[in-house]
Structure 1
Amino acid sequence: MSRVLPSLIALLVLASHSAHSLTPDGLSLLSLKSAVDQPPGGTAFSDWNEDDPTPCRWTGVSCANVSGDSDDDPRVVGLAVSGKNLRGYIPSELGTLVFLRRLNLHNNNLYGPIPEPLFNATSLHSIFLYGNNLSGPLPPSICDLPRLQNLDLSNNSLSGALPEGLGSCKQLQRLILADNRFSGQIPAAIWPAMENLVQLDLSSNEFTGSIPPEIGKLKSLSGTLNLSHNHLSGEIPKALGDLPMTVSFDLKSNNLSGEIPQTGSFASQGPTAFLVNPLLCGFPLQKPCKNPAQPGSPSTGLNNSQATDSGSRKGLSPGLIILISVADAAGVALLGLVVVYIYWKKKDTNSCSCTGQTKLGGGGGGGGGCRAAARICIFPCLGGSGNREDSEMEDAEKSERSNGEGKGGEGDLVAIDRGFTFELDELLRASAYVLGKSGLGIVYKVVLGNGVPVAVRRLGEGGEQRYKEFVAEVQAIGRVKHPNVVRLRAYYWAPDEKLLISDFISNGNLASALRGKSGQPSSSLSWTTRLRIAKGTARGLAYLHECSPRKFVHGDIKPSNILLDTELQPYISDFGLNRLISITGNNPSSGGFIGGALPYFKPQPEKANNYRAPEARVPNSRPTQKWDIYSFGVVLLELLTGKSPELSPTTSTSIEVPDIVRWVRKGFEEEVPLSDMVDPMLLQEVHAKKEVLAAFHVALACTEGDPEVRPRMKTVSENLERIGT
């Protein structure tokens, strides 16, 4: 009451002087001015004049004509006074702004509780109060706001338990409560109702108890589920594996225990997701569980080289049988296809490189395939013969092949990076998951014996006569070393099989981050993150153009070829593959299987032409660096607008520019407000308006119709680096 009384008195005094001029919305806003103190020289309210007839021209205030309002005057729909170092409290009079939609007071020094009367402003859909010193509990009435979509209260001093009433926030898309003092157990009943929740961050609080399995029902979740730096205990619920495959976990720095589940979305998590939980064990951590025979253990699931002997003596345990049955019925079909494939491919040989397995059939002529004993043969009998009696001969052949003088008659695994070593047998016995399949080959995630995941791309079976050309091309790709380009580590060549082994980037690609699993706009990427992705991609592409051994042309820049790690750093992938595909001389996606591979990610379909330059659509044209620059410009526009390139079906010639380019250019020509073109997610970061505008100009320069007018990629990268510095 002591805080509210001064603002009421101030309002009464102001009303006595300006009752005939300033609107009621303006009087409510002046309560904020009277409730806070500005630092010396502060200008946050320099033009907030009580003598004005309307507050709609005040700094930080947005107005609009509201349908259904009996008054013709515009009403206040947005209030953004952030980063001004204001010290004071949030006045409850702001709750009288019944048409207020966006409240943005972040990064100030506001203290005290969040006033419950604030939620009388029932039009609110976005509340950003992070970076203050607010205290007290989270008001239970917050979900009285029927349209609430974005709630960011992070980096405050809020405390107490999460109210059960949060389950009534059915429209909520982003709930960010990190860096507070919330305590108690995380309520279980609130999550099933939040079917629209995209982002959940409860990190750096004081939550105790177990992780509710009900969180696994958040089917719209994307990005990172962040529960790190709390006091959570107990086992990780297997139900979290039901979350979308694109979700990354951050569960580090808790007191979790037991074995990490291996189902569903757990398959795509890296070890950093589970660090600083001393009692956790199992893959992907390097700490094995005490009972390796327990279902779901890393040593279970067809990776143990001793499983053949133990299986022959004791048989499969009931737990292992249940695990294999439940994992995926499709595995049986895949195994059958592997057997048939191997039989017909290798029927002219009686040897098999799948160590620890027996040959199908008897005698010298028939049995080229492998019968799975206790593990599944990952790659179909690579190399022709499984054993070499003379290691010196093997080293000599490797040296001969690395010099481009080999004939390629027998398969060999060649490491391009000397610091990246593993044996062919280790690759054959590793667990694998299908990542994707396209005209550039089938891609698998393969986890080696040391726990390191790699990406393996199967290129195809042809090109026996072009071995030297293949090796020269692969060696050129392998010499590309840049922090924003996927690193090629090794390759395998045989007349009937070609594989590329590269780093595995664990967090999906930009297409999924922008559009989600459904392909619809559902991004939670902040402007800072998008700018970092754009800068990193530009640096990597500039390196390929200017500094790489071949001065590569990528030829297919698009979001699905920009991979993201757990820190959302970008990596350009798939460069140089078109040339290798032409060397192999066939379509690699038409055949080939990895036994036991379980698909865990299906890339979103994209229309490749939407990212191509106009001149790239002319038949028989050769790729140029200007193509890449245009494609990068389209990707940058997609980051800025949140829209896919195909805004509507094209109706003219095949060389028409993508709709997003014409739409943005028309918007600038007609002086459409920036807020009507930019992704609504970026409107939260008001301070970034100038940066967003500068990025638009870079994108428009990249997408000029005349390729000669487009800047070099080096210039594009330099211009982006200046933004935000």
Structure 2
Amino acid sequence: MAKEAATNHNSHPTTILLMLLAACFVVATCRGETDAEKLLKFRNSLTTSNGGDSALKDWEESPTPCTNDTQNWTGVRCSRGIVIGLRLENMNLMGMIDVDTLSRLPGLRSLSFINNSFDGPMPSVGKLTLRALYLSLNKFTGEIPSDAFAGMDQLKKVHLARNHFSGQIPKSLAGLQKLLQLNLEGNSFQAKIPDFPLAHLTLLNLSYNQLVGRIPDTLSNFDATSFQGNKGLCGKPLEACKSSISKKTILIICTVAGATLALAAIVAFSCTRGNNSKTSEPIIVNETQETKALKKYGANNYHDMGQNEIQSSDCYFVNSQNDEISKLHFVNNDREIFELNDLLRASAEVLGSGSFGSSYKAVLLTGPAMVVKRFRQMSNVGKEDFHEHMTRLGSLSHPNLLPLIAFYYRKEEKLLVSDFVPNGSLANLLHVRRAPGQAGLDWPIRLKIIKGVAKGLAYLYKEFPGVTLPHGHLKSSNVLLDNAYEPLLTDYALVPIVNKEHAQLHMVAYKSPEFNQTDGVTRKTDVWSLGILILELLTGKFPANYLAQGKGANADLATWVNSVVREEWTGEVFDKDMRGTKSGEGEMLKLLKIGMCCCEWNAERRWDLREAVEKIMELKERDNDNEDYSSYASEDYVYSSRAMTDEDFSFSVAG
């Protein structure tokens, strides 16, 4: 027994050593792979087009990818020492995206492989818990499985543009309730567009695919550019869908058309005899032209369209029967006076219909062409107040304001008369399809336009110091351009006389973030409209939120610009039709920054008009070769929207 005890005692150290080694093995097994080891394994699945991996070589130079919020490895985004995003863009990467390994990174929320050389089918991203996915500008092919995005309830941004995907848009993608942005542009998606939830969707681009059928009603408020390049699509905002018509329906239409023609003949006869009747309310008898314009252009202002899109009317303003003859009141003493009957006898061309009412071009017998705007949403203002306000507007004199010439008052209807501007509006030149070979607006002209707008707006602020919204309806269709491309602001200072309910439903100022949040506007609200106008001028994109009525219309253009600036920088921001930019890119960048600062979501942090105008007036057509423009590309100048407070916007790769 004593010998056995001694033997056990002598072997005890060896036993303890073996036990310690076994314990260390167990601990190592339980610890598992670190984020660094997982990322290095993921890197091994990648190659580059030149056969190397130099873009990610620094992944071996530091033992850990993250130190708190600091990234140690290229393309790795960190938060509190955890890997939360990969931004491996413009690296010529190819090979297989090892989703299984990425799925073992518990904090991964954003993934971006923009502008690489990945090909093959869509990666199985459904295994990841992502909020943002960017796979644009690669070579992925084939159909995306219908359930590819099933269960990805936190996904907010999906960018798959300019690949070679085909087949239907996955139904699971359309079912993402928190989706903010979707870009499928430049693929070969086919069939119909599924319905998408609209609770949060602010950016949509389905252009240049092979989609067919009617655009869902839930997407009809997006701009037409979101759907361009799909020959088989129809419905708002594109042309109306054609439907098959039965023989019975054709017979009914022909009968109604015949009756309409007969009525038109009677009306035409009355046009030639209407000059002898008495009037207090001008009436347009040829409403067919207006109907055409409304059907074709919806709620656009008359300057939104090309002037040669609508043919001249052969009819005239005529007079309604009334014993009282009202007077045309002139507020500009420098102009030739004409009588109301001169205006009523003028040949009338329907120019279009805006949110306030219809507009007509009236060519007087003496020669000059005038624009007559009819307003029916000013019935709450009394005659004396209306006369006083119109007289105030008539006293304004500035080279960047379209002057008011005269006005006409009835309780139910008002007419405002101004000069006709043949060059149309900024919206017309930016967004109406040009003839083949016709050049777009170059950078010097766009700079000239925005400087003129800023000067006109500053003048209004000086002349109306006690008015909250000196303009209130600043948008590209209310910026007219003379033959020298000098801008003329119109529809300004109308907020005090427009019915409040109508103003809040239709005027641009009431689509601002502050009205959406607090039901109120401030002296900085016009600055927000100026910022949107700047972004529209630089990007060539129409602010689709202007088409939405009432409260809740988000600043979608500013959101898009912010996203692109954070993700792709200026390459995708500026309008490709803008010529003469090589020597002015730095100045364009400055104007982009100004636009972002004017579009700050929080009105307290937004620039005031004085600061915005000063910065705009400092801009030049050509860059200063000695100036460093790199700071203007930093995230310090990224537009800050309400959505930026969301958790997934806390790191740049998620936008």
When normalised by structure 2's length, the TM-score is 0.51
Structure 1 counterpart of 2:131, from 102, 108, 125: 125
Tell me, yes or no, if the aligned pair for 1:178 and 1:202 is still in contact at 8 Å.
yes
Counting only pairs closer than 5 Å after superposition, residues 441-590 of structure 1 correspond to structure 2 as 443-446=356-359, 473=395, 476=397, 480=400, 488=402, 491-494=405-408, 498-500=415-417, 538-542=450-454, 544=456, 561-564=473-476, 577-578=492-493, 588-589=497-498
Matched residue SS, 1:197? coil
Number of the residue aligned with 1:186:
192
CA distance in 2 between partners of 1:712 and 1:222 (Å): 34
Match of 1:158 among 147, 161, 165: 165
Q: Distance in 1 between matches of 2:198 and 2:454?
A: 43
The correspondence of residues 183-582 of structure 1 with structure 2, limited to 5 A, is 183=190, 185-186=191-192, 190-191=194-195, 195-208=199-212, 210-211=213-214, 215-218=216-219, 222-224=222-224, 226-232=226-232, 236=234, 240=236, 249-250=237-238, 257=242, 293=253, 306-307=263-264, 309=266, 353-354=282-283, 403-404=334-335, 406=337, 410=340, 413=343, 424=346, 426=348, 432=353, 435=355, 443-446=356-359, 473=395, 476=397, 480=400, 488=402, 491-494=405-408, 498-500=415-417, 538-542=450-454, 544=456, 561-564=473-476, 577-578=492-493
Query: What residue number does 2:39 align with?
Result: 28
Partners in 2 of 1:306 and 1:449 — Cα distance? 24
Determine if contact 1:25/1:76 at 8 Å carries over to the other structure. no
Q: Is the 8 A contact 1:537 1:562 kept in 2?
A: no
Q: 1:90 aligns with which of 78, 97, 101?
A: 97
Q: Kindly indicate whether residue 123 of structure 2 is the aligned counterpart of residue 115 of structure 1.
A: yes
Match of 1:8 in 2: none
Question: Which letter does structure 2 place at the counterpart of 1:60?
Answer: G
Q: 2-side partners of 1:589 and 1:48: how far apart?
A: 63
Assess, with a 3 A threshold, how the Cα gap between structure 1 residues 607 and 194 changes in structure 2: closer, same or farther.
closer
**Equivalent position of 2:79 in the other structure:** 64
Cα contact 2:49–2:94 (8 A) shared by 1: yes
8 A contact 1:32–1:90 mirrored in 2: no
Measured after TM superposition, the shift of residue 75 of structure 1 is: 2.2
Assess if the C-alpha contact under 8 Å between 2:141 and 2:165 holds in 1. yes
Q: Deviations over 1:581-618 (max 9, x none)?
A: 8xxxx963369x9xxxxx87784346443518xxxxxx
SS of residue in 1 equivalent to 2:498: helix
Paired residue secondary structure (1:540): helix
- Is the contact made by 2:90 and 2:116 (CA closer than 8 Å) also made in structure 1? yes
Find the aligned partners of 1:102 and 1:306 in 2 and give their Cα distance: 65
Which residue of the other structure, out of 64, 70, 94, is the alignment partner of 1:53? 64
Q: Residue 505 of structure 1 contacts residue 563 of structure 1 at CA under 8 Å; is this kept in 2?
A: no
Which letter maps to 2:141? S
Question: Contact conserved, 1:119 with 1:144, CA < 8 A, in 2?
Answer: yes
1:105 pairs with 90, 96, 113, which one? 113
Secondary structure in structure 2 of the residue aligned to 1:170? coil
Q: Answer yes or no: is the 8 Å Cα contact 1:154–1:180 preserved in 2.
A: yes
Whichever residue aligns with residue 159 of structure 2, its letter is: D
- Which structure has the higher relative contact order (CA within 8 Å, separation 6+)? 2
Report the Cα distance in structure 2 between the residues aligned to 1:43 and 1:50, rounded to whole angstroms.
Answer: 12
Q: Distance in 1 between matches of 2:633 and 2:179?
A: 30
Deviation at 1:202, TM superposition (A): 2.2
Aligned equivalent of 1:146, options 147, 153, 174:
153
- What residue number does 2:614 align with? 712
Q: Give the letter for the 2:113 counterpart.
A: L
Q: Secondary structure of the equivalent of 1:36?
A: strand
| Partner SS, residue 119 of structure 1 | helix
Q: Give the match for residue 369 of structure 1.
A: none
C-alpha deviation, 1:135, in angstroms: 1.4
Q: Which residue of 2 aligns with 1:79?
A: 86
- Identify if the C-alpha distance between structure 1 residues 552 and 349 changes in structure 2 by more than 3 Å, giving closer, same or farther: same
Inter-partner Cα distance in structure 2 for 1:216 and 1:142: 23
Displacement after TM superposition at 1:179 (Å): 0.7
SS of 1:143's partner is coil
| Offset of residue 311 of structure 1 | 13
Number of aligned residue pairs: 461
Aligned partner of 2:179 in structure 1 is: 172
Shift of 1:350: 6.4
Contact 2:473/2:491, CA 8 A, preserved across alignment: no
- Name the SS for the 2:133 alignment partner: strand
Structure-2 separation of matches of 1:589 and 1:89: 61
The one-letter code matched in structure 1 to 2:35 is P
Q: Indicate if the aligned counterparts of 1:21 and 1:51 stay in contact, CA closer than 8 A.
A: no
SS of 1:695 mapped into structure 2: helix
| Cα deviation code 1:670-694 (max 9, x no counterpart) | xxxxxxx999746742646996999
Equivalent residue number for residue 5 of structure 2: none
Alignment CA distance shift 1:145-1:84 (3 Å): same
Report the Cα offset of residue 37 of structure 1.
Answer: 0.9
Q: 1:31–1:91: 8 Å Cα contact kept in structure 2?
A: yes
Instruction: Rate the CA distance shift 1:467–1:506 in 2: closer, same or farther, 3 A.
Output: closer
Name the CA distance, whole Å, in 2 between partners of 1:201 and 1:705.
Answer: 30
Q: Deviations 1:96-140 (Å, cap 9, x if unpaired)?
A: 333221112112222222221x32112x01111111222122233
Shift in alpha-carbon separation, 1:535–1:112, aligned structure 2, 3 A: farther
- Separation in 2 of the partners of 1:127 and 1:704? 30
CA separation in 1, counterparts of 2:282 and 2:372?
21
Give distance in 2, aligned partners of 1:712 and 1:108: 41
TM-fit CA distance, 1:31: 1.9
State the AA in 1 paired with 2:348: E
Letter in 1 for 2:118: L
CA RMSD of the aligned region, Å? 6.6
* Aligned partners of 1:152 and 1:176 also within 8 Å: yes
SS of aligned partner of 1:109: coil
Compared CA separation, residues 551 and 104, structure 1 to 2 (3 A):
same
Deviation at 1:225, TM superposition (A): 6.7
Q: In the alignment, residue 61 of structure 1 is paired with which amino acid? A: V
CA distance in structure 1 between the partners assigned to 2:386 and 2:144 by the alignment: 68
- What is the alpha-carbon distance in structure 1 between the residues aligned to residue 267 and residue 457 of structure 2? 55
With over 3 angstroms needed to count, the CA separation of the structure-2 counterparts of 1:682 and 1:129, relative to structure 1, is same
Gap regions ≥5 residues in structure 1: 1-18, 66-73, 241-248, 260-288, 313-347, 358-374, 387-393, 414-421, 436-442, 481-486, 509-530, 594-598, 613-627, 640-676
Q: Return the letter of the residue paired with 1:181.
A: S
Residue type matched to 1:211 in 2? Answer: R
The one-letter code matched in structure 2 to 1:112 is G
The SS at the match of 2:229 is coil
- 8 Å Cα contact 1:404/1:472 also seen in 2: no
AA in 1 matched with 2:567: E
Structure 2 CA distance, aligned partners of 1:467 and 1:169? 50
Conserved? CA contact 1:382–1:411, under 8 Å:
no
